[in-house]
Amino acid sequence: MGKCVIFCAAGFDALAEPIRSGDYVIAADGGLRHTDALGLHPDAILGDFDSLGYVPDDASVFPVEKDDTDAMLAIRRGLQLGFREFLLYGSLDGPRLDHTVANFQALQYLCEHNAWGYLTGSTQIATVVQNGSLHFPAGCSGILSVFCLGPAATGVTLEGLYYPLKDATLTPGFPLGVSNHFTQSAASIDVKCGSLLVLWDRINGFPVRKQYHA
C-alpha cells in the first residue's frame, strides 16, 4: 500500500517526493489550491471550506463547528482506508500557530493508531516517533531538534549528532533536545518508551523508521 498524501491549506511550494502509484491524495479544504496548482486530481476533497471560500464538486462537506480540524478529518479518512504512512503538505508553514500545534498532536494521534506521519514544510520536516527509532544516512547537515511529547520519554539515545545522549529521560518541562546538529555521520534517534517530536531541515529528506511495538 502507498502513502496517504494530504494537502492542507497552509503554505506549500513543492513536493518533497513524487506522487506514486498507490498513493491516495486528499485535498483538505484550502489544500485544493495546492493540488490544482500541481495539476493533481485528488482522490478525495473534504473539509468545512471556510479557507477555500466555496464548496467544490464531489466534496465531502463538514460543519465549521466540529471537533476535528480539516487535517484530522483527512487523517481519519486515510486510517479508515487502511493507510499507515501519511505525508502532510501545507501543514507546517501557516500563519496560525495553533493549527501547527494541532498538527503536532495529529502526528501523535497517528502513532497511537499504529501509523506515522510527516509534516512537510518549505524548509523543515516534523514527525513523531513513539517506542521506536529514526535513522538518517551519512551526509546530513543542519539542525535537528527533539522534544518530549506527552509524559516522560525514557531510554532516549541520540547517536551521530553533535550532542549525543545515551539512555536518557526527556520530559515535556525542559527543552534539552533543542538545536542539535547533524555531523555528516549516520545519525539515529531512539526512544524505548514514550513519544518524541522530531524536526529537521527538509534538505535531508525522510529517515528510515523502525518500530519496537505497536
Q: Beta 44-47 vs 85-89: how paired, if at all? A: unpaired
Kindly state the cell numbers that stand for 172: 515535556
pLDDT > 70 fraction of the chain, expressed in percent and rounded: 99
CATH of 4-122, one of 3.40.50.10240, 3.30.565.10, 3.40.1790.10, 1.10.3470.10: 3.40.50.10240
* Neighbouring residues of 184: CB distance < 8 A, sequence distance ≥ 6: 138, 139, 140, 141
pLDDT value for 96:
86
Q: What is the pLDDT of residues 32-49, one digit of tens each?
A: 999 999 999 999 999 988
- Distance from C-alpha of 148 to C-alpha of 198, rounded to nearest angstrom: 9
Give the model's pLDDT for residue 213.
63
Residue 108's closest CA among 141, 143, 150? 150
Residue 107 is inside which H or E element, if any? helix 97-112
Buried b (16+ CB within 10 A) or exposed e, 121-140: beebbbbbbbbbbbebeeeb
Residue with more model confidence, 58 or 4? 4
Interval 25-35: pLDDT, tens: 999 989 999 99
Please report, rounded to a whole number, the percentage of residues in the chain having pLDDT higher than 90. 85
In sequence order, the β-bridge partners of residue 180 are: 144
Taking the CA atoms of residue 18, residue 89, residue 182 and residue 163 in that order, the dihedral angle to the nearest 10 degrees is: -150
- For 78-125, the pLDDT digits (tens) are 999 999 999 999 999 888 899 899 999 999 999 999 999 999 999 999
pTM of the model: 0.94
Q: Report the distance separating Cα 77 and Cα 34, nearest Å.
A: 19
Domain with CATH 3.40.50.10240 in the chain: 4-122, 128-211
Report yes or no: 119 and 103 within 8 Å, Cβ to Cβ: yes
Taking 70 as the threshold, does the pLDDT of residue 169 lie above it? yes
Burial classification of residue 118, based on how many CB atoms lie within 10 Å of its CB (0-12 exposed, 13-18 middle, 19 or more buried) = buried
- Decide yes or no: CATH 3.40.50.12780 for domain 128-211: no
